[in-house]
Amino acid sequence: MRATVALFKGRRTPGEMSPRYRLFRRAMNLLCRLLFGLDVHGGKDVPAEGPLIVASNHSQYADPVLVCVAVPRRLQWMAKKQLFVFPFRKFFEFIGSFPVDREGGGRGAIRAALAFLAEGWALGIFPEGTHRGAGTSREAKSGVVVLAVRGSAPVLPVYVGKLPGPLARLRGERLHIYVGEPIELDSALRGGAAYRAAADEIMGSIYTLPEQHAADTR
C-alpha cells in the first residue's frame, strides 16, 4: 500500500490535473451532455485545495466517472482490489483509484487514504461500500466518518442520478448530478455508535440533495 501512495505522489502534486486528465473530463462532460442531457447542480462551494472526502451514492458502475466529471478536483478513489486486473487496471489507475483489500480488513487502505488526505488530496468514497440497485439498503459504512475525523477533512456529499436510456431520453429525461456543501464533522467524535450515526447522517444528506435543490429553485 505504501508503494501505491508513492506511485501517485511521484506522478503529480495534490489536486493537480494532468493535461490528459483535463481532456478526459472535458470529453466525458461533452459525451454525457450529448447522450444523457447531463445537468450538474451545485459545485460552487467545492474547496479548491486541502483534504476533502467526496462521498456519493452508488447505484451504477459509471458512478466514479460521473463524480469525476461533476467535481472539479483531482480525486483518489478507494476501489476493491478485484477491479485491478487486465484490461481495466490502467483505467482505474488513470482515474485515481487505489486497491482496497476488504478481506484483509482494509487497514492498509485506511493508512493509504489517510496519507492522501495528509498530503491535501480529495478522496472519493462510496459510503455504502458497493453499488446498490434501486430499492436496496442505504446503510452506510462508518469508514467515511473515521477518515474524515482522523484526516481532518470535510465531507462533500454528491448525489448521482440514474443514467437515462434511449427511450427515457426521448421522453425528455436527463442525467442529474447534485453537489452539496461541505460537511464539517466534530473532531472529538469517537466510538462505533457515534461513527455509524454520523455516517447515516451523511447518507441522508446525499439522498436529500435532489429534494433540497428542487426546494431552492421554487
CA distance 178 to 160: 7
DSSP 3-state assignment of 16? coil
Q: Cell numbers of 150, please?
A: 482522523
201-212 pLDDT, tens digit per residue, is 999 999 999 998
Q: How confident is the model at residue 139 (pLDDT cuts 50, 70, 90)?
A: low
DSSP E strands in 57-96: the ranges are 75-80
In this structure, what C-alpha cell is assigned to residue 188? 472529538
pLDDT of residue 3: 43
Residue 192 in grid coordinates? 462505533
pLDDT, position 65: 93
pTM of the shown model: 0.85
Contact 140, 183 (CB under 8 A): no
Least confident of 55-59, 70-74, 90-94, 152-156: 90-94
Domains of the chain (ranges; CATH) run 2-216 (3.40.1130.10)
Q: In whole numbers, what is the pLDDT of the chain averaged over residues?
A: 85
Q: What percent of the chain has pLDDT over 90?
A: 57
Contact 184, 89 (CB under 8 A): no
